[in-house]
Amino acid sequence: MPALLTDRPNVRQEFADKISHVVRFAGDSGDGIQLQGQQFTVASALAGHDLATLPDFPAEIRAPAGTRYGVSAFQIQFGGDRVTTPGDAPDVLIALNPAALVVNLANLVPGALIIVDESAFTAQRLKRASLDTNPLEDDTLEKFDVCPVDISHLTLEAAKPFGLGAKDAMRCKNFWALGLVLWMFDQPRDATAHWIQTKFANNEAVRNANLAALSAGHAYGETAEMGHILSQHPIPEAPLDAVEYRTITGAEAMALGLVAAGELADTELLFCSYPITPASSLLHHLTGLDDAGVATFQAEDEIASICAAIGASYAGKLGVTSSSGPGIALKTEALGLAVATELPLIVVNSQRAGPSTGMPTKTEQSDLYQAVYGRNADTPLPVLAAHSPADCFETAIEAVRIALRHMTPVILLTDGYIANASELWPIPNIDDFQVITNNKPTETSGDIWERDAETHARLWAAPGDKGFIHRIGGIEKDIVTGNISYDADNHQAMTNLRQAKVESVANFIPEQTIDQGTTAGLAVVAWGSTYGAVYQAVKECLQEGLAVAHIHLRYISPLPKNLHDLLTRYDKLLVPELNTGQLATLLRDKLLVDIQQLNKVSGQPLTVAEVKEAIARLANPRMQEVTNA
Amino acid sequence: MPELSFKNFATDQEVRWCPGCGDYSILKAVQRSLAEAGAKPENTVFVSGIGCASRLPYYIESYGFHTIHGRAPAIATGVKLANPKLDVWVITGDGDGLSIGGNHLLHALRRNIDVNILLINNEIYGLTKGQYSPTSRVGTTSPSSPGGSVDSPIDPGRFAIGAGATFFGRAVDIDQKGLPGLLNEARGHEGTSFIEILQNCIVYNKDVFDDVANKKTAADHQIHVQHGEPLLFGKTNDKGLRLNPSTLALEAVMVGHDGVTTRDILVHDETNATFAHLLLSMEAPLPTAMGVIHRRRLESFDRAFWNSKTQKRRQKVVNLLHQGNLLDRRNGSE
Ligand code: SF4
């Protein structure tokens, strides 16, 4: 074997000085890589680090072992500073087989530390990964620090006393490697040990073997004499507030946001959906929460799921449905019905790469047109977008607030990245949120078609309410009586009303603020999951003295009332998106502003470097103007 | 409380079906059955799809939701799950229920959600001006099948039984004697009650059921089945049905002829799906079965759905927010 341990003291020193790291775990989709990543995430949070994660897995459930396309990965950035992205480029890679090594090399920082399972580099497995030579033996890894460890063999040894077959024992490999990485960053093992104990409570041998593998990996770090390359790097704690924190994925936060909103509105929810990647996790998280006011119904198809949700809203509970782009397309006709009948409804779209089936496990922001414009006729409705996993909580509450206040369906955009990724979340106090009002009839209510002057909402009378018996439907209704009407003037009046209702939302939502940066120069105007990358890029550019600001939109339709005034204060506007320019088009249309675009449609999140590069092209050095950090 | 008459279930809306349409008598039967059952208008909901028949909710003084093409069973499912106390009805047609909405009908039936579905079958698309429908017989000429349709029709009854329906009944639109009673049987059934009503579209498919519905020949061409009663029909009840063991199909016989006695006549068992299948497979010259053809007990979906419920909601929400591995910084860092 050639000299793998390159001697670059400056690189190693740089590594040792870092207060945040980007670690990527990679292996076969059957290796338990996602679990490994999740457990590391928990340990990192409990050690007081800020963090952001990126699960990156193939659409196939168990793709053929050892192939490049079957590689599953989990990336996390964690550290003692504010962390908003899972990191552009890992500085540590743990690769459990040759394919997992080679597919991830291109993204690593030069001098990155690579820990590989040496015993997985057999002739047969190199061939599976389409490799002619062994990258551990040629110059492929020249630029990196490589630490080959016989992980498979050491895992088998650790599991030996518990009598598992070789195949089962080998399954403990992810915990062995996790043990080693936990040691490396001096993170606690207790939560993982507890997880193993609970998960395998009924299987003593598997439980003990996994615990032993975890400890063995940890002990290996301590005892193996590899200090020159593999040493311990404790990370300082992040400056956190004096509150309780937990890690949370977007799908979890969305579920909790909906549950909390139902409670704040004193309304029960009926969540109706049909399985689709990457939206199904929301259904999973909400199922079983009926004592928190949510019942879930798995319908026979996408159309039935939105229809059942509309039925629930008609009957006085709040209907919620969820899907991804292709499923939302199927729900579209029914969305028109909800607009026409003026029923509250929440539609969550976890966007994924398209068109058609596209790349179901990869992320994209390409359903903005669909959300804002994608219906037959003049059928406006409010559209909101969550910007991070934790932000799904508040955005869900906002969506419910708008739907109930105005009696309208609301589309809530999130994406595959937000749904699966996790971050550290300061747990809010539900009592701090304003109660959500609805339009249910009271003793003083008049006719159900008498509208609130400011919200244009009609009464939310439901079957069972005496004195409000009425018929509604998709046929145009008379603006006064609610009866069927084909009258020309009435249709004009109803069309105007539907438009005015959505526009009136702008009178209730907060004015747009600047997330950080200057009040002149270049504004980076973004929405959705690009938040982390834009935040970090702008932060670094500000430090480098550029006049740049970050403005992140939650309200896509209608836009905040002050947005035009705010944006026209800047010389230049840059809109980065994971699509070909959908928000850019919307802003040009609504605000008549000139916009530069940064677009990426690769199925991967935007990187900080990509945003920085675009900013550097457009921004000027900062003069003496006021900053708003 | 004063009893409501069927007139109390009429709305002030002008009824807009073609004069002579079979829907008029169906509407009357529905209003009548609601009055007879003592239904409360505020607790009654009619959900419909798209088509001539789907206008019916506008004419009934109760809650009503005229929705979109084919989706009424799905919307009704949401209504019933949201409030299981409601008396929920679905009005659909052969195109609405068995073509564009076939999937929802299938799943409503197999889930056994407690709604009553009236499929008003006229074997034609009326509202779109007369195209052949999924129940049209082979050879039906229409604007979209000028040379006669070639695709085989679906039979609503056998579809329902195949989907696991727990209640299937059938009646003719003009049967003011039988239809209200059948509707009440459906209303009283826990689970999905599915009724096929043979309706006369006098504009686009006039008298397509005349052979069955015509009052002059109805006695010989219809058999009104009743659980536990022998399957007899004809003006003097002299005809009966028995099982032909070699074809495993029903055959008509004359009681008192060729040594046939009433003992040879089958007795209707509404709980037996195979029996229902035999009755629904009869073709002319055998009579068409009417009444409650199939009914069996099965817990409804909405009941099963809501079986477990608790309170203390806010505490549960707070607990959920705080689950998982917590990092407690409320007292600053350690
Ligand atoms: S077209 Fe046929 S079904 Fe429709 S209203 Fe006229 S007669 Fe009745």
Looking up residue A420, the CATH number of its domain turns out to be 3.40.50.970
Is A593 part of a structural domain of the chain?
yes
In this structure, the answer to whether residues A396 and A269 fall within a common structural domain is: yes
In this structure, the answer to whether residues A342 and A210 fall within a common structural domain is: no
Atom of ligand 1 nearest to the CA of B20: 7
The dihedral region occupied by A620, where left means phi > 0, alpha psi between -120 and 50, and beta the remainder, is beta
Is A388 part of a structural domain of the chain?
yes
Is A59 part of a structural domain of the chain?
yes
Confidence of residue A492 (pLDDT cuts 50, 70, 90): very high
- Give chain B positions within 8 Å (CB) of A241: 329
What is the total count of domains within chain B?
1
Residue numbers of A between 41 and 80 with CB closer than 8 Å to B = 42, 45-46, 48
Contact present, A300 and B104 (Cβ < 8 Å): yes
In this structure, the answer to whether residues A250 and A184 fall within a common structural domain is: no
- Give chain A positions within 8 Å (CB) of B67: 307, 310, 337, 473-474
Identify the CA nearest to A386 among candidates A565, A250, A184: A250
Residue B37: give its domain's CATH number. 3.40.50.970
Helix %, strand %, coil % for chain B, to 5?
30, 20, 45
Residue B218: which H helix or E strand, with range?
A: helix B218-221
Full domain range(s) for residue A293: 246-432
Residue A79: give its domain's CATH number. 3.40.920.10
Res A210: pLDDT = 97
Is A66 part of a structural domain of the chain?
yes
Q: List all residues whose CB is within 6 A of at least one atom of ligand 1.
A: B 17-18, 21, 23, 52, 122, 126, 201-204
Res A248: pLDDT = 96
Which residue has 């509105």 as its token pair? A265
* pTM score: 0.93
Q: How far is the C-alpha of A601 from the C-alpha of A614, rounded, in Å?
A: 16
- Give chain A positions within 8 Å (CB) of B63: 462-463, 469-471
Full domain range(s) for residue B205: 6-232+267-295
Confidence of residue A47 (pLDDT cuts 50, 70, 90): very high
Is A484 part of a structural domain of the chain?
no
In this structure, the answer to whether residues A103 and A209 fall within a common structural domain is: yes
Each residue of B28-69: pLDDT tens digit? 999 999 999 999 999 999 999 999 999 999 999 999 999 999
What would the DSSP string read from start to end of A219-286? HHHHHSS-TTTS-----PPP---SSEEEEEEHHHHHHHHHHHHHHHTT--EEEEE---TTTHHHHHHH
What's the distance, CA A309 to chain centroid?
Answer: 24
Res B312: pLDDT = 58
Q: How far is the C-alpha of A506 from the C-alpha of A259, rounded, in Å?
A: 25
Contact present, A314 and A329 (Cβ < 8 Å): no
Res A64: pLDDT = 86
- The alpha carbon of B202 and the centre of ligand 1 are apart by a number of angstroms equal to 6
**Average pLDDT of the segment spanning A536-542:** 97
In this structure, the answer to whether residues A305 and A207 fall within a common structural domain is: no
In this structure, the answer to whether residues A619 and A531 fall within a common structural domain is: yes
Identify the CA nearest to A299 among candidates A308, A286, A287, A311: A308
Kindly calculate the radius of gyration of chain B based on its CA atoms and give it in whole angstroms: 23
Is B334 part of a structural domain of the chain?
no
Point out the domain boundary residue: A415, A432, A449: A432
Q: How far is the C-alpha of B90 from the C-alpha of B101, rounded, in Å?
A: 12
Res A29: pLDDT = 85
In this structure, the answer to whether residues A279 and A413 fall within a common structural domain is: yes
Which residue has 């907060």 as its token pair? A510
**A242–B45: do the CB atoms touch at under 8 Å?**
no
**Average pLDDT of the segment spanning A589-614:** 96
Nearest-CA distance B122 → chain A (Å): 23
Identify the CA nearest to B47 among candidates B5, B103, B104: B104
What would the DSSP string read from start to end of B279-295? HHT--TTSPEEEEEEEE
Is B323 part of a structural domain of the chain?
no
Mean pLDDT of chain A: 94
Which pair of tokens denotes residue B311?
Answer: 């309170």
Q: Tell how strand A113-117 and strand A145-149 pair up.
A: parallel
In this structure, the answer to whether residues A197 and A61 fall within a common structural domain is: yes
Length of chain A: 629
Q: How far is the C-alpha of A596 from the C-alpha of A610, rounded, in Å?
A: 14
Point out the domain boundary residue: A391, A406, A432: A432
Is A128 part of a structural domain of the chain?
yes
Res A5: pLDDT = 44
Q: How far is the C-alpha of B192 from the C-alpha of B311, rounded, in Å?
A: 29
Res A138: pLDDT = 92
**B83–A309: do the CB atoms touch at under 8 Å?**
no
The dihedral region occupied by A395, where left means phi > 0, alpha psi between -120 and 50, and beta the remainder, is alpha
Q: How far is the C-alpha of B294 from the C-alpha of B112, rounded, in Å?
A: 14
**Average pLDDT of the segment spanning A499-508:** 98
**A470–B64: do the CB atoms touch at under 8 Å?**
yes
In this structure, the answer to whether residues A259 and A211 fall within a common structural domain is: no
Q: Which among B203, B205, B207 is the best mutation to test ligand 1's pocket, defined by most ligand atoms within 8 Å of the CB?
A: B203
Cis before B143? omega within 30: no
Measured between CB atoms, which of B67, B316, B329 is closest to A244? Answer: B329
In this structure, the answer to whether residues A173 and A204 fall within a common structural domain is: yes
What's A455's DSSP letter?
T
Is A452 part of a structural domain of the chain?
no
Nearest-CA distance A319 → chain B (Å): 8
Range with lowest mean pLDDT among A79-93, A210-224, A427-441, B299-313? B299-313
- Give chain B positions within 8 Å (CB) of A292: 313, 316-317, 320
Each residue of A244-256: pLDDT tens digit? 999 999 999 999 9
In this structure, the answer to whether residues A57 and A189 fall within a common structural domain is: yes
Res A9: pLDDT = 66
E strands, A57-197, in order: 71-79, 92-95, 113-117, 145-149
B63 SS3 class? strand
Point out the domain boundary residue: A432, A454, A473: A432
Which pair of tokens denotes residue B315?
Answer: 């505490």
**A473–B13: do the CB atoms touch at under 8 Å?**
no
What is the total count of domains within chain A?
3
Nearest CA in chain A to B59: A471
Is B242 part of a structural domain of the chain?
no
**Average pLDDT of the segment spanning A432-451:** 93
Nearest-CA distance B330 → chain A (Å): 4
Does pLDDT of A7 surpass 80? no
What's the distance, CA B79 to chain centroid?
Answer: 18
Each residue of A165-189: pLDDT tens digit? 999 999 999 999 999 999 999 999 9
In this structure, the answer to whether residues A175 and A280 fall within a common structural domain is: no
Res A227: pLDDT = 65
Residue A573: give its domain's CATH number. 3.40.50.920
Q: Is A333 on the interface with B (CB under 8 A)?
A: yes
Which pair of tokens denotes residue A544?
Answer: 């480098």
Does pLDDT of A403 surpass 70? yes
Which pair of tokens denotes residue A145?
Answer: 């620090």
Q: Which among B21, B27, B48, B127 is the best mutation to test ligand 1's pocket, defined by most ligand atoms within 8 Å of the CB?
A: B21
Confidence of residue A446 (pLDDT cuts 50, 70, 90): confident
Q: How far is CA A136 from CA A129, A131, A146, A155, in A?
A: 14, 11, 8, 21
Is A108 part of a structural domain of the chain?
yes
Does pLDDT of A371 surpass 60? yes
Q: How many CB atoms lie within 10 A of CB A69?
A: 12
Q: How far is the C-alpha of B42 from the C-alpha of A468, rounded, in Å?
A: 8
| Type of residue at A260 | A
Measured between CB atoms, which of A244, A272, A473 is closest to B78? Answer: A272
Identify the CA nearest to A151 among candidates A221, A222, A57, A56: A221
Each residue of B132-177: pLDDT tens digit? 999 999 999 999 999 999 999 999 999 999 999 999 999 999 999 9
Is B224 part of a structural domain of the chain?
yes
Q: Whose CA is nearest to atom 3 of ligand 1?
A: B201
Residue ranges of chain B whose pLDDT lies below 50:
308, 310-311, 334
